[in-house]
Chain A
Amino acid sequence: DAGVIQSPRHEVTEMGQEVTLRCKPISGHNSLFWYRQTMMRGLELLIYFNNNVPIDDSGMPEDRFSAKMPNASFSTLKIQPSEPRDSAVYFCASTLQRGNTIYFGEGSWLTVV
């Protein structure tokens, strides 16, 4: 079975550029999460969707961050404009239903220079 698929795996971009990270959740899962991982703060929940609807975006750090889920099999996390402090690993995760095990993708490693 395919797990959560993220792209790109690695991205290096210049400050001020737009960054778009992509995620395909596990087929049949109806909740999707975006997390950010840094050495200082560990794993932080940015936003989560249930049935393609954003439920809680209180973890999104600034208006520069936005996320969409146009259908059950695709989500994007966009940073515009990007800043060096956005450098981190961004994980997408999905689950079948609330309270169940959450499965993670391999992450997108973002470096903003």
Chain B
Amino acid sequence: EDQVTQSPEALRLQEGESSSLNCSYTVSGLRGLFWYRQDPGKGPEFLFTLYSAGEEKEKERLKATLTKKESFLHITAPKPEDSATYLCAVTPQSGGGADGLTFGKGTHLIIQP
């Protein structure tokens, strides 16, 4: 069974204080690892997809990296508007089972001014 574990569950940072969020996964062959951002009262908003170990993607203050067992979402010099819950999800390589994503429970990030 595919599993995704995110840590920490919650993180409070000062504006400008860089940090990283972790996503550990167990999947029977990884097709893709996805990062989403979810604001209160909204649906998850797509950020990145990573497909193979060593791959990196960047968007503004966010950078996602991938190894064979985990992914990191690095946040550089965050601003209060980066406050949100960040969700990690995986989809397996093989067909037959669900093609939907298996999600972690998320990291609730608060950036204080």
Contacts and interface: CB of A to CB of B under 8 A. Distances in A.
Contacts of A35: 100
24 contacts: A35-B100, A42-B104, A43-B44, A43-B103, A45-B98, A45-B100, A48-B100, A55-B99, A56-B97, A56-B99, A56-B100, A58-B98, A59-B98, A91-B43, A93-B100, A98-B95, A98-B99, A99-B91, A99-B99, A102-B34, A104-B45, A105-B43, A106-B43, A107-B43
A101 interface: yes
A48 B106 CA distance: 22
A42, A59, A105 interface centre (most CB from chain B within 10 Å):
A42
B77 to A, nearest CB: 27
Contacts of B103: 42-44
Given A43-B44, A91-B43, A107-B43, A102 B100 contact: yes
B91 A45 contact: no
Nearest to A109: B41
A50 interface: yes
Interface in B29-83: 31-32, 34, 36, 41-46, 49
Interface residues of B, number: 25
Interface of A: 4, 31, 33, 35, 42-45, 48, 50, 55-56, 58-59, 91, 93, 98-99, 101-107
B101 A45 contact: yes
Contacts of A42: 103-106
Nearest to A32: B100
A102 B43 CA distance: 11
B99 A101 contact: no
B110 interface: no
Given A99-B31, A103-B46, A106-B42, A56 B101 contact: no
